[in-house]
Amino acid sequence: MEIAGSGAIVTGGASGLGLETARTLAAAGAAVTIVDLPGSPGAERAAEFGGAFAPADVTDADQVREAVAQAASRAPLRIAVNCAGIAPPAKVLDRDGNPTGLDLFAKVLQINLLGSYHVIAHAAAEMAKTEPTASGDRGVIVNTASVAAFDGQIGQPAYSASKGGVHAMTLPIARELARHAIRVCTIAPGIMETPMLLGLPQAAQDSLGQQVPYPARLGRPAEYAALVSSIVENGYLNGETIRLDGAIRMAPR
């Protein structure tokens, strides 16, 4: 499917993988709307490439619906990319051997899994209304999982569960939306140059990068964004989760 002329919505678009994806899609000719929290620098970032900003919390279905409508008002919505997410660590048992509270676990699931589902559902409803392109496509949805969905480390039960859920729902949703000519894929990044990791000392970044078989470095947001573009443009990619990780398999800790 052609990126140029398409409306695109990118959640978590004010920073990190989402911001680079928004910039890349805009450079390819898409009318991009960044979705991020009201207190984020989304408006400033969107202005840098002629995009728009729709402040929204992805856990709020009404706010997501409004953001999707805003994106669709700029151009036919054909691309939706889910990048919003959090990754706070928490073990099952605390240092005293007691179960940790469920609040954080629930919050991670709400943002990473339910938030992704809200965007999928509302974006798909809008895409289904559009006229198909010359090639018969109506839209493409790209979700973000993680290698933690497959190689979760100690302290990542909530994050792994949420990202495992994103992976698991990719195929059934792709099968359902096929009748609307909407494709659904998921990217599972490895250790990427996100704002959180870039805040670590250089020695720590280098150590993490050396765990990657090849290339032995952190993944770059531009590489994630390039894969999003490839998924959009390759009409036969559907229902798949693609690891973007330099062949890393995470150790237990």
**Annotated catalytic residue 159:** yes
Structure-token pair, residue 11? 């959640």
Is 181 buried (19+), middle (13-18) or exposed (0-12) by CB count in 10 A? Answer: middle
Residue 53 main-chain phi, psi, to 5 deg: -125, 130
Residue 138 main-chain phi, psi, to 5 deg: -110, -30
Q: What value, to the nearest 5°, has the Cα angle with vertex 170 and ends 188 and 79?
A: 80
Beta-carbon contacts of 119 under 8 Å, excluding residues fewer than 6 positions away, are 9, 11, 35, 58, 64, 68, 80, 82, 84, 141
Which positions are annotated as active-site residues? 159
